[in-house]
């Protein structure tokens, strides 16, 4: 009985979660464009599953904020006004600044080691022209601040906007020069934190985020 009691049956991931993961990644990768209408029927056919788990996935993604709409049978990918983009960037910088400061108090060597490893992987992804892989590593880089902060509620606060941030990063990274600039900034942040020059690292982070806060035309494809 003791041996049987130690056995655990792994439950398969619900179809609704699988659908939500696939739809979310399609939004983040730009396969579903900002403001694009997504219907229950179309998603059901695309994913090859019934409407019920798709409906549940849509509801879940609405709660995350990356889908909008009142209809139960569909939704639209989120959009942002210039003011909303600015507010999101201010919020993001506030959270990331706090996370860096906490991480550099809680586990500075662990954070620096992690950031340096990510930068090496980012460099490899760039050499291999793996755009999608590079963007995922960009996500992981910023997530590391929260991973090492030791503050559960700070992580939860960032998680509430992290999918929107990842989506916007995709749009902003379509220009090669932006990627070059962004990569050099990531390397610089890691170097400055290794040297315990925390405020200088935060300044570089602030410049990076502020640059994105003024790029509403690139993000939304505004013809103006």
pLDDT value of position 224: 32
Question: What is the edge-to-edge ordering of all strands in the sheet holding 67-68?
Answer: 37-39, 74-77, 67-68
Which residue, chain included where needed, has tokens 């890691």? Answer: 190
pTM for this prediction: 0.86
Final residue in a domain of this structure, among 77, 103, 127: 77
Residues 71 and 86 in one domain: no
Residues 113 and 31 in one domain: no
Boundaries of domain holding 176: 82-220
The answer to the question of residue 6 being in a domain is no
| Average pLDDT per block of 10 residues along the chain, 224 residues long | 57 88 95 94 94 94 92 86 94 97 98 98 94 93 97 95 93 80 96 98 96 82 44
pLDDT value of position 209: 94
Residues 69 and 90 in one domain: no
pLDDT value of position 221: 63
- 40 touches 74 (CB < 8 A): yes
Residues 164 and 184 in one domain: yes
pLDDT value of position 218: 77
The answer to the question of residue 185 being in a domain is yes
The answer to the question of residue 8 being in a domain is no
Residues 73 and 87 in one domain: no
The count of structural domains within the chain is 2
Q: What is the CATH number of the domain that holds 133?
A: 1.20.120.530
Determine the Cα–Cα distance for residues 160 and 158; give it in Å rounded to an integer: 5
The answer to the question of residue 3 being in a domain is no
């Amino acid at each position: 009985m003791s041996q049987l009691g130690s056995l655990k049956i792994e439950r398969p991931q619900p179809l609704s979660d699988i659908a939500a993961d696939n739809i979310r990644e399609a939004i983040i990768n730009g396969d579903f464009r900002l403001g694009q209408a997504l219907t229950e029927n179309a998603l059901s056919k695309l994913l090859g599953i019934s409407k019920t788990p798709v409906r549940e996935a849509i509801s879940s993604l609405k709660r995350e904020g990356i889908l909008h709409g009142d209809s139960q049978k569909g939704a639209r990918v989120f959009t942002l006004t210039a003011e909303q983009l600015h507010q999101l960037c201010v919020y993001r910088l506030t959270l990331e600044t706090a996370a860096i400061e906490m991480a550099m108090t809680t586990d500075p060597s662990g954070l620096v080691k992690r950031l340096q490893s990510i930068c090496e992987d980012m460099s490899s992804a760039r050499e291999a022209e793996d755009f999608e892989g590079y963007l995922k590593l960009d996500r992981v880089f910023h997530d590391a601040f929260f991973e090492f902060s030791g503050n559960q509620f700070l992580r939860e606060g960032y998680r509430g906007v992290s999918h929107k941030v990842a989506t916007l990063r995709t749009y902003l990274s379509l220009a090669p020069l932006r990627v070059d600039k962004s990569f050099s900034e990531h390397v610089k942040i890691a170097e400055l934190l290794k040297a315990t020059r925390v405020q200088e690292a935060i300044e570089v982070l602030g410049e990076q985020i502020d640059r994105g806060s003024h790029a509403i035309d690139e993000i939304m494809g505004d013809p103006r």
